[in-house]
Amino acid sequence: MRVCLDTNVLLQLFGSDVPLAPIRAALLAGRLELAISTEILLEYEEIITRLSGPARWQQVMSLLEVLGRLHGTVQRVEPTFRFGVITVDPDDNKFVDCAIVAQADFVVTADRHFSALAGAGYRPQPIHPNDFVEQLRVQ
């Protein structure tokens, strides 16, 4: 299964006792593919550096690189077309564009702006992190 993780979800993956630990475990086990673009990586870097410092960002980036090398489950895409699905907060479109181009199954997010993707006719669908965790448990 291929997903694109909104920044708010990525931030919640780290820590010893986090509700989204099954997502992290699936990534580490190679059972989940992660689609990312340069725009997404830049947002991840900006937010993680601001909240936790540059050392933490380097740890996250190293983890993504290791996952890519170890399992081949980090798919880098560079969308050249802007689909413009989300009009309320156009900055969120970087995740939608990446997910569409990567042919992801889901955009994992708690952001309601992504509900526009649900009826847009594209393969990736928005899914709340808690619902996604439940889906991982069922598999």
Task: Write the DSSP assignment of 16-81 as a string of letters.
Answer: SS-TTHHHHHHHHHT-SEEEE-HHHHHHHHHHHHHHH-HHHHHHHHHHHHHHHHHT--EEE----S
Instruction: List the pLDDT tens digit at each of the 139 positions of the chain.
Output: 999 999 999 999 987 778 999 999 999 999 999 999 999 999 999 999 999 999 999 999 999 999 999 999 999 999 999 999 999 999 999 999 999 999 999 999 999 999 999 989 999 999 999 999 999 999 8
CB atoms within 10 A of CB 116: 18
Fold classified for 2-138: Rossmann fold (3.40.50)
Query: Distance (Å, rounded) from C-alpha 27 to C-alpha 34?
Result: 8
Query: Distance (Å, rounded) from C-alpha 133 to C-alpha 16?
Result: 16
pTM: predicted TM-score of the whole model, two decimal places: 0.95
